[in-house]
Amino acid sequence: MASPKAAVPLSFLKLEEHSVARLIRELLGRLGEDPRRDGLARTPERVDQALRFLTSGYRMNLHQIVGGALFEVKYDEMVVVKDIEYFSLCEHHMLPFFGRMHVAYLPRKKVIGLSKIPRIVDVFARRLQIQERLTQEVALAVQEVVDPEGVGVVCDARHFCMMMRGVEKQHSGAITSAMLGAFRDRKETRHEFLSLVNPAGGKY
Ligand SMILES: [Zn+2]
């Protein structure tokens, strides 16, 4: 018979209160490994720590991260932050996907501290994701906190679930984009953004 403790649905417990390590130890056994052997003895705790870090975006608060880093300015040219490295986990296989993101916006009244943009990317990358939603969520978050005329995001990715499993290797790189406001409505704005992140006129 299951212990009364095991009857509590996991979803009602905070991650902090529950050991992921125990599940990993069981997983190792089910994969045919001996979780007690030297090399694996501390692995469950390490995986626990790693997974908490890789999903820490769930516990981040967008507005806390932005803090006071919004500044009123009279600047209405495009702001572009290029080549933001990110690492995420695909929600279908819990395997990594990673790549670079380019984020741009057209200020209305405010600009945001440039270092905050990569931190906004991490809020959404450090979760179980699909590349399309990650791209969209970053665009919507910048729109929400900066309230600009528009936002453009381009994201490229390499997916381990495709690279490692020997399927569709030739399609293992994917590019997604999200265009809001002026980036969606004005062809020139969109083209300016794409030419800035892609000077060679290649990938995007
Ligand atoms: Zn996958």
28: left (phi over 0), alpha (psi -120 to 50) or beta: alpha
Catalytic residue among 45, 93, 132, 143: 93
Please give the Cα distance from 170 to 158 (Å, whole number): 11
- CA proximity to 25, closest of 46, 7, 6: 46
Range list of β-strands (E), the chain: 70-72, 79-90, 96-106, 110-112, 128-129, 150-159, 173-181
**Residue carrying the six token digits 């704005």:** 189
Residue 8 has pLDDT above 60, yes or no: no
CB contact at 8 A, 186 and 154: no
Residue 3 has pLDDT above 90, yes or no: no
pTM over 0.75: yes
H helices present in 31-130, as ranges: 43-54, 62-66, 116-125
Q: Which residue has the higher pLDDT, 12 or 34?
A: 34
Residue 49 CA to ligand 1 center (angstroms) comes to: 21
Report residue 162's pLDDT band, with 50, 70 and 90 as the boundaries: confident
Q: What is the pLDDT of residue 164?
A: 84
159 catalytic? Reply is yes
91 catalytic? Reply is yes
Please give the Cα distance from 80 to 64 (Å, whole number): 22
Q: What percent of the chain has pLDDT over 90?
A: 78
Residue 17 has pLDDT above 80, yes or no: no
Residue 173 CA to ligand 1 center (angstroms) comes to: 12
Report residue 198's pLDDT band, with 50, 70 and 90 as the boundaries: confident
Q: What is the pLDDT of residue 173?
A: 81
Residue 70 has pLDDT above 90, yes or no: yes
Catalytic residue among 102, 131, 149, 155: 131
Report residue 204's pLDDT band, with 50, 70 and 90 as the boundaries: confident
Q: What is the pLDDT of residue 37?
A: 96
Q: What is the pLDDT of residue 1?
A: 42
CB contact at 8 A, 133 and 142: no
- In eight-state DSSP terms, residue 120 is H
Joined tokens for residue 56:
């820490």
Find the mean pLDDT for residues 154-183: 85
Please give the Cα distance from 196 to 154 (Å, whole number): 11
